[in-house]
Structure 1
Amino acid sequence: MNSVNSAKDVSINQSRTVIYNYYYEKQKITTSTEEDIDDNLPCPYQVLYHFNPENAEYFFGREVFIEELYQYTETHNFIPVLGASGSGKYSVILAGLVPKLVKAGHWQFTHFRPGTDPFLALAQALVPLYVQNLDETDRMAQARKLSGYFQDNTIPLSDVFATIQQNYPNNRTLLIADQFEEFYTLCNDEQIRRKFIDLLLQTFQFFP
């Protein structure tokens, strides 16, 4: 089984979904050698990979939980999804909640993983919505600049979300944080971790 990394800012044509700053892995399916097997048939199983909007039609069994998450988006601005590793948390968001929000309309999506530098990761997720019509080089430069502003609190995260709302007055934004445990396992600077948590807590107070 091989995998291919996609480019970021993924556009899913089937559901007309764009998730900014999102990488996903598409599997090359090893088909059977049986002559009566159609090699062109898609494989619905993702094995160890997560489901995403592109293969949402094969994602079943979480309808009740997806509906609960959908209802939470109407009343909450912060929705933690907790569970054991491999339990399908990411799949239920990307292949369940996101397509449901797309169908409802007036939603846009962006994504980050904290990695070793959570401030930069967050900035890279927000820049495509915060500053429009940048090429890749300018986007990277703007992300580094915004990351610094976040760290020294020159620009609060709440101000960035306010600007995004002005840029897209008819849309709501879902910021998807994946693998948040990386915040503790990969970011070794305790001061950075404290500043980042403070940034999030201040924003949650502004958008309860």
Structure 2
Amino acid sequence: KLGGYGLMRVMMMFMEVGMKISYLFMIISLLGGVFTSLVCLRQIDMKSLIAYSSVGHMGLALGGIFTYNYWGMCGALMMMVAHGLCSSALFCLVNISYERISSRSLFLNKGLINIMPSLSLWWFMFLACNMAAPPSLNLLSEILLINSLVSWCSLNMIFLAGISFLSAAYSLYLYAFSQHGMLFSGVYSFSLNFTREFLLMILHWIPLNFFIVKSDILLLWL
């Protein structure tokens, strides 16, 4: 995320060269976004899945930066902020499960809705944000990035459709596998949620969903 912001600042110095090679970086970033999204659908490690999803979203942001237009730059910054909050919360949720199950495998972290239903709600809300459901900041950032990339080249719609569909697919896959199904038989003792964990979730969720009300902070910065 910080590297992407640094790239946005430095690119203005190399605009002439960047305009000539932007198509190359755009193809690499969008293809990378599609391939890493496909990799996410084959992951059984929850932490790896979320890490690969970050790579896929940053491919979309990088493509927006290399369009060299206002919507692309604003959408990229917005996606970096939104996905920074969203992926941080998802990593935290994985750690909460890991502290209790002692495994990050989706084969062992099954049926968590039976023992932690309140945490299951947080899983749903953050994975909904991850697939750019309203009213999250991810939705506005994807709208801006899709507009900028399609206006640059209409063929980008093929890659964008793949990234958007696959991000929803692996988010649903992670939620369905971790929350539903039979509970792992090796769980003998279990501590329930702590207040600090809920506070941590709330402090991620509020800015992620309420920044869209005051989105001009991220739109009117150039």
The interval holding the TM-score normalised by the smaller chain is under 0.3
Q: Which has the higher contact order (CA 8 A, sep 6+)?
A: 2
Q: Which has the higher helix share?
A: 2
Q: Which has the higher strand share?
A: 1
TM-score by length of 1: 0.27
TM-score by length of 2: 0.26
